[in-house]
């Protein structure tokens, strides 16, 4: 049965645990289908976002959906969309390794007093451009909200990235803002 829960499920990942060549650093968050961890790719010595299926909700159907999401995500190539590095399984844990973007959520920024409106509007504009790119590829983000948008400072501008569970893609979408002079 497709909705039958798979047996022998792994416990949640712990700090220091290795999945394939990724070493878990910390849990970042979770959604309806997956848990996201910050991890280190020990082969390339770089941080990654490692998304795994939630062990208590892992079914044959969810595993198939997770694989479809990874395939769809890897098909997108855009400067505002974070790269998916790998989809795999190790010791019963299915995972997607993707580019790690560090920052604060747009939700956190909106709750702070004095968040510049111009910056928030620029993040929204860039999110719309990135979502349009995904839509053009037949991918729909069904749960876009401020707590899934990360804002960071990177180089000469600010960057923002959307994370979450689009219908076919767990991609994060990256936005940049030119600083005013």
141-157 pLDDT per residue, tens: 777 778 777 777 654 34
CATH value at residue 93: 3.30.200.20
Same domain, 29 and 89: yes
Same domain, 94 and 113: no
pLDDT tens digits, one per residue of 118-128? 888 888 887 88
1 in a domain, yes or no? no
Boundary (domain end) residue, out of 59, 78, 99: 99
Distance (Å, rounded) from C-alpha 35 to C-alpha 50?
8
Q: Provide the residue range defining the domain that includes 58.
A: 18-99
Q: Is the pLDDT score of 16 beyond 90? A: yes
143 is catalytic: yes
Q: Which of 45, 56, 90, 143 is catalytic?
A: 143
Same domain, 27 and 95: yes
The answer to whether the CB of 58 falls within 8 A of the CB of 35 is no
């Amino acid at each position: 049965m497709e909705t039958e829960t798979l047996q022998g499920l792994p416990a949640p990942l712990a700090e220091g645990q290795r999945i394939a060549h990724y070493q878990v650093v910390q849990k970042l968050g979770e959604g309806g289908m997956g848990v996201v961890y910050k991890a280190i790719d020990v082969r390339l010595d770089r941080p990654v976002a490692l998304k795994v299926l939630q062990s208590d909700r892992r079914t044959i159907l969810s595993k198939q959906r997770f694989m479809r999401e990874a395939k769809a995500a890897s098909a997108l190539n855009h400067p505002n969309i974070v790269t998916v590095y790998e989809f795999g399984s190790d010791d019963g844990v299915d995972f997607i390794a993707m580019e790690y973007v560090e920052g604060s959520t747009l939700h956190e920024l909106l709750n702070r007093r004095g968040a510049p409106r111009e910056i928030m509007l620029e993040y929204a504009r860039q999110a719309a451009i990135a979502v349009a790119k995904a839509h053009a590829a037949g991918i729909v983000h069904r749960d876009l909200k401020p707590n899934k948008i990360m804002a960071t400072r990177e180089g000469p501008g600010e960057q923002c990235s959307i994370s979450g569970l689009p219908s076919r893609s767990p991609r994060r979408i990256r936005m940049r803002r030119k600083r005013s002079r």
